Amino acid sequence: MRAARLIKMVLLLQSRPSMTAAALARELEVSERTVTRDAQALSEAGVPVYADRGRAGGYRLIGGYRTRLTGLARTEAEALFLSGVPGALREMGLEDAASAARLKVSAALLPSLRDASRTASQRFHLDAPSWFKEPKTPELLPVVADAVWDDRRIVARYRKGSTEVERALEPYGLVLKAGVWYLCARVPDADAPSGAGSGARSGSGVFRTYRIDRFTTVDTGDDRFTRDEEFDLPSYWDEQAERFARSILRAEVVVRLSAEGVRRLPYVVDPVSARDALSAVADTPDEHGRVTVALRVESEDVAYTQLIALGAEAEVLAPAGLRKRFADDARRLAELYEAP
């Protein structure tokens, strides 16, 4: 533990002109007294750590000293590629590995480039969760993440309706979508998509998607699986996400849209549904500049809550029950705003 801390201290001092004892203590998560003892230990070991006294003082390396202890461990290298998603790293338990990797990269850079991490973080930040939701990290996420990184098989129990189901899984990848964590896993020797997520066949099993917050237990062992190197996680996720979106669009409404309604439609309904509806439009706009589209929706109730956001830019033509609902509400609104 102390050896790792001493190495981190050297890398910190190598990547910056100097650091105060307080700053080092924060980075190393120790007391300033421990920093003083560590600096003395490094000096006795031949590392030229120099302490500047006074209010503006601090610790620095002298004589152009550079350590070559900058080789990245595999976990550090993998975490480095995720360092733009700090929240996800923290939830998967990889924050320390990413911090060590960034330090090693900074120490290996030319002095003129060592502030690259700071300047990049000043200019870009990814906030994955959606608005108005407080995401909750699944308790079993770190266990699942460890299995994903090590290609280790797991046996997971998950909630399926009012029951629990157990599955042996080969965990391939993790996806963070709008604050919700998903596991993309292969179910060996499975015959057809079922269970907690949609699936796609590959080799001797089927790939399926599981919400990790529905896992109740996850057991891991030392048994490893051979990863299908042709599996492409981003492509798989895009395909499954679109398939899922289409699967829940079980009803259809016919809508007449103004030009403004056409522009705003993808922002109020499912983007897949909007894209399909607008791409199928063959008619030219009528004399009022409106076009008629057939729109796939989850249900009439969902269609109502979505399309009402378009106001007068959308006129529902069918089904008759939904059109009547809009007409009745339009009359009530008119009466409300005409009242003295």
Type of residue at 290:
R
N-terminal to C-terminal alpha carbon distance within the chain: 76
pLDDT value at position 294?
Answer: 94
Which two tokens mark 211?
């919400």
Which two tokens mark 71?
């080789």
User: Hey, is 131 helix, strand or coil?
Assistant: coil
Q: Give dist(CA 175, CA 180) in Å, integer.
A: 8
pLDDT value at position 8?
Answer: 81
Q: Give dist(CA 148, CA 82) in Å, integer.
A: 14
Of the candidates 246, 251, 313, which has an alpha carbon nearest to the alpha carbon of residue 273?
A: 246
Q: Please report, to the nearest 10 degrees, the dihedral formed by the alpha carbons of residues 246, 247, 250, 254 taken in order.
A: 0
Q: Which residues contact 113 (CB under 8 A, 6 or more apart)?
A: none
Q: Give dist(CA 291, CA 8) in Å, integer.
A: 64
Q: Give dist(CA 130, CA 177) in Å, integer.
A: 9
CA angle 79, 85, 88 (to 5 degrees): 80
Q: Which residues contact 69 (CB under 8 A, 6 or more apart)?
A: 7, 10, 11
Q: Give dist(CA 190, CA 207) in Å, integer.
A: 9
pLDDT value at position 195?
Answer: 42
Residue 322, CB-side half-sphere exposure with 13 Å CA sphere: 22
Greatest alpha-carbon pair distance for the chain in Å reads 88
How do the pLDDT tens digits run along the chain, 340 residues long? 676 788 788 778 877 778 888 888 888 888 888 988 888 888 877 788 888 876 667 888 887 676 655 555 555 544 544 555 555 556 666 666 666 666 665 655 555 555 555 555 555 555 666 666 666 788 999 999 999 989 999 999 999 888 999 999 999 998 888 778 899 999 987 654 444 445 555 556 899 999 999 999 999 988 999 988 888 888 898 888 888 878 888 899 999 999 999 999 999 998 889 998 998 887 788 888 899 999 999 999 999 999 999 999 999 999 999 999 999 999 999 999 886 6
Instruction: Give Cα 262 distance to the centre of its chain.
Output: 30
Phi and psi at residue 24, in whole multiples of 5°?
Answer: -65, -40
Q: Can you name the residues that pair with 199 across neighbouring β-strands?
A: 208
Query: For residues 56-93, b (16+ Cβ closer than 10 Å) or e, as one string?
Result: eebbbbeeeeeeeebebeebbeebbeebebebbbebbe
pLDDT value at position 81?
Answer: 46
